[in-house]
A and B are shown apart, each in its own frame.
Chain A
Amino acid sequence: MTTSPFAYAPAPESVRPVLKPSYGLFIGGKFVEAKSGKRFASINPATEQPIAEVADAGAEDVARAVAAARKAFPKWSKTKPAERAKLLFRIARRIQERSRELAVLESMDGGKPIKESRDDDLPLVVQHFFHHAGWCDKLAYAFAGATPRPIGVCGQIIPWNFPLMMAAWKLAPALACGNTCVLKPAETTPMTALLLAEILAECGLPEGVVNIVTGGPDAGRAITALAGKGVDKVAFTGSTEVGKAIAKAVAGTGAKLTLELGGKSPNIVFADAALDQAVEGVVSGIWFNQGHVCCAGSRLFVEESIHDDFIARLERRMQQLRVGDPLDKNTDVGAINSKAQLDTIRRYLKAGSDEGATKLEVACDLPKKGFWCRPTIFTGVQPSHTVAREEIFGPVLAVMTFRTPEEAVQRANNTTYGLSAGVWTEKAARALEMSNRLTAGVVWLNTFNRFDASAPFGGYRESGFGREGGRQGLSAYVSIGGGR
């Protein structure tokens, strides 16, 4: 590819986090080694270079973390709510102060563009702590007529796509409601959670209230194995497949459970939409965070009459995306999180072509080292195609068409998922009725991928159950009788 005279000069982020060469498990307020002594390196997916070593927690370590959380629970749950609030407010402030450093580390560890970790992830992390800090002493108003009680020890397992944000979404409401936590970050992105552990200790959060165990799937299984035996609540964000396995593991233990799982979310563009706005929404819907987004708008439904025009606009816009160094402030699409995920995406790209869809992709050079995938559009997709049915969790969009609003609803809802949906139309009545009819926990009308600590997020059907954020999200972390 020839370099355009209008190409951007590199604009690398200059802040660099100060890291230790290796980190232990954060248990009982201290960093400790794994019993086995095992450790693994967290890799920068853009360079394939190790960032630091972290301890690999085994079942014994998880048991130790759960015991620490149990020990901390009586005092923490009885701490005056207004005092708990002050600690959470302080944590929010401290994260805010160190947010650039955390954003850079997030981009290094996970591959996401610095502009996203800086402008989306970190502000939301801070907001979640700040928002939930304020709930601590107001829970009785949130559950009018009931007496909300903390549940106990929460085992929380989070994914690699929004590492620190998911940690905040899990920890902040749990702590606000008076629970203690054992958090397991994803294997490929443990770094920011460990920096968060340092911040929590620095802020004076009592020992054992939050424990962070780094490790792989075995550490996760060790947490669910303790459901009902020390762990009173399991919260998981990740794939539907693992979510089902967790639901089975937790069944019958009496532990409460919330799951935020996968999606294959529709983004529906009507002919009367503001088309250039819709193009931007489709772009952010599928290429935000390399498409590593559970609520990504990965199925595009375009009204048949505007299909060719819309796809031409979309492709033109796609070709402007800058793919590359996550730490360059101009980068739009960063590195794929891991080699394993890149392999998965490549299998789907092959399936898309093999099954007869037409592939359009960004024509750009990719760095030699690291894990990269070009933003891709498949047109001419049939509902039965693999790329139309399965969650790819990568920068791959499947385009289909519809003729009537009823058909759009029917095709959009024709999935076992139900996490999010997008609708683009200038008709307010149509937009609102579409929001009524779409089977999804979040509906974005003339926008996409918006999040806020006050706005509950979570899925219908096989996208999981429970909500995160807002008053509704608190239900996941209190006991008031009733369901999970």
Chain B
Amino acid sequence: MSAAGSARIEVAKTLKLYVNGAFPRSESGRTIPVKDARKRIVAQASHASRKDLRDAVEAANAAQPKWAAATAYNRGQVVYRLAEMLEARRAEFVSLIVSIEGRSKADATREIDRAIDRCVCYAGWTDKIASILGGKQPVAGPYFVFSMPEAMGTVAVVVPDGAQLLAIVSLVLPVIAAGNSAIVIAPIGANAPLAIAFAEAVATSDVPAGIVNVLTGMRSELAPWIASHRDIAGVAGAQLPAAEAAALEAGAAENLKRVALFRDAPKFDDDAFWHSPWAIQPFVEIKTVWHPSAL
């Protein structure tokens, strides 16, 4: 070890999970080394287990009704606050994307900027979804009838391999904007630090504990438990390998989870789709309410 006086030892981050507003280690005690683009071990990522998933489901379901019952205006401000927190971490995300995903600085900057701008977009969606997806129905009779979107509960967000930040943001925002809670399953490996950096932004925003949870783990290990868990209402995913998609859908049939795998959707950098209400629609239930109308 060199004694050069000004050389400073960097403080390395311990990568943990994000569950119910806290950063626990995996109950399994397992970790997986994280290597950067130059194959150097930079951290040990917490390797989430089935039990971690169950803990997250419990937290997510406990928190969700209050989040759904919050005013849409309030949810919008919370999502906007998330944009503020991401903006504050812009440099950190750029450097993480460059070092971990091995992409250029310009490319990395484009990704975080798009992620932040997407948050701002969704901050504006929370109190407008109902007017686009719901409305008063002109039924043929003396009834006052309206249909409105409602949250469905807890949605597992299954993140594909590859670039993480925009994938996570694009799948989480429609889920939470609609009043659901999200359990993000981020692939453990090189990109785990990006998922956890996102969790840190969430933790410092005003998103209530339990509404966004982040587990770094093996999709192949957790997917069967996600699919068959009876307290998970929906699954969000995109660009998943065909066999994984099939397994998720087959398992989800057990309690008829809503599965939105965005097979016919464009890539995450397509703002026209990912900023539209049609990305949110899979995560709402439509409730139709009737009442007689008479003097």
Which residues in A have some Cβ–Cβ distance to B below 8 Å?
127, 143-146, 240, 243-245, 247-248, 250-254, 259, 261, 416, 431-432, 435, 440-447, 450, 452-458, 460-462, 464-465, 467, 470-472, 475, 479-484
Contacts and interface: CB of A to CB of B under 8 A. Distances in A.
Given A252-B250, A454-B139, A481 B290 contact: no
Contact of A452 (B137, B245, B259, B292): B137
A276 B263 CA distance: 52
Given A252-B250, A431-B291, A456-B288, 19 more contacts: A244-B256, A251-B246, A251-B250, A251-B252, A251-B253, A252-B247, A435-B289, A440-B287, A446-B291, A447-B143, A450-B290, A452-B145, A455-B137, A455-B288, A456-B147, A461-B255, A465-B256, A480-B278, A483-B262
12 contacts: A145-B276, A248-B250, A248-B253, A455-B137, A455-B145, A455-B147, A460-B152, A464-B256, A467-B286, A470-B137, A472-B286, A481-B279
Contact of A481 (B141, B253, B254, B264): B264
A350 B258 CA distance: 36
B36 interface: no
A446 B279 CA distance: 35
A465 B258 contact: yes
Contacts of A475: 281
Contacts of B259: 483-484
Given A248-B253, A252-B245, A482-B260, A146 B286 contact: no
B24 interface: no
Contacts of A458: 286
B222 interface: no
A482 B279 contact: yes
Contacts of A465: 256, 258
B265 to A, nearest CB: 3
A440 B262 CA distance: 25
Interface string B249-287: 110111110111111111000001100111101110111
Residue among A248, A261, A454 having the largest count of chain B Cβ atoms under 10 Å: A454
B278 A444 contact: no
Given A252-B246, A455-B290, A465-B256, A482 B145 contact: no
B285 A460 contact: yes
Contacts of B273: 146, 481
Contact of A435 (B242, B258, B278, B287): B287
A443 B145 CA distance: 10
B267 to A, nearest CB: 11
A483 B288 contact: no
A482 B246 contact: no
Given A442-B288, A481-B264, A455 B139 contact: yes
A481 B282 CA distance: 10
B88 interface: no
Contact of A441 (B138, B145, B285): B285
Contact of B281 (A251, A441, A446, A483): A483
A447 B290 contact: yes
Contact of A447 (B242, B264, B282, B291): B291
A247 B253 contact: yes
Contacts of A431: 291
A465 B135 CA distance: 19
Nearest to A431: B291
Contacts of B279: 481-482
Interface of B: 132-133, 135, 137-141, 143, 145, 147, 152, 233, 242-243, 245-250, 252-256, 258-266, 272-273, 276-279, 281-283, 285-292
A479 to B, nearest CB: 5
A443 B288 contact: yes
A481 B262 contact: yes
Contact of A483 (B133, B260, B290): B260
Given A252-B242, A454-B137, A460-B152, A484 B260 contact: yes
Given A252-B246, A252-B249, A472-B147, A442 B287 contact: yes
A245 B152 CA distance: 22
Contact of B139 (A444, A452, A462, A482): A452
Residue among B152, B245, B253, B292 having the largest count of chain A Cβ atoms under 10 Å: B253
Contacts of B140: 127, 452-454
Nearest to B250: A251
A14 B94 CA distance: 79
B292 A447 contact: yes
Contacts of A456: 137, 147, 286, 288
B272 A145 contact: yes
Contacts of B264: 479-482
Residue among A250, A446, A470 having the largest count of chain B Cβ atoms under 10 Å: A470
A156 to B, nearest CB: 18
Nearest to A252: B246
A446 B293 CA distance: 10
Given A145-B272, A247-B253, A456-B147, A481 B265 contact: yes
A483 B256 contact: no
Contacts of A247: 249-250, 252-253, 256
Residue among A146, A416, A453, A464 having the largest count of chain B Cβ atoms under 10 Å: A146
A326 B264 CA distance: 47
A394 B290 CA distance: 24
Contacts of A444: 289-290
The 3 closest A-B CB pairs, nearest first, are A252-B246, A483-B282, A483-B260
A151 B171 CA distance: 23
Given A441-B285, A479-B264, A481-B265, A243 B256 contact: yes
Contact of B282 (A251, A446, A460, A484): A484
Nearest to B245: A252
Nearest to B139: A452
B163 to A, nearest CB: 19
A484 B290 contact: no
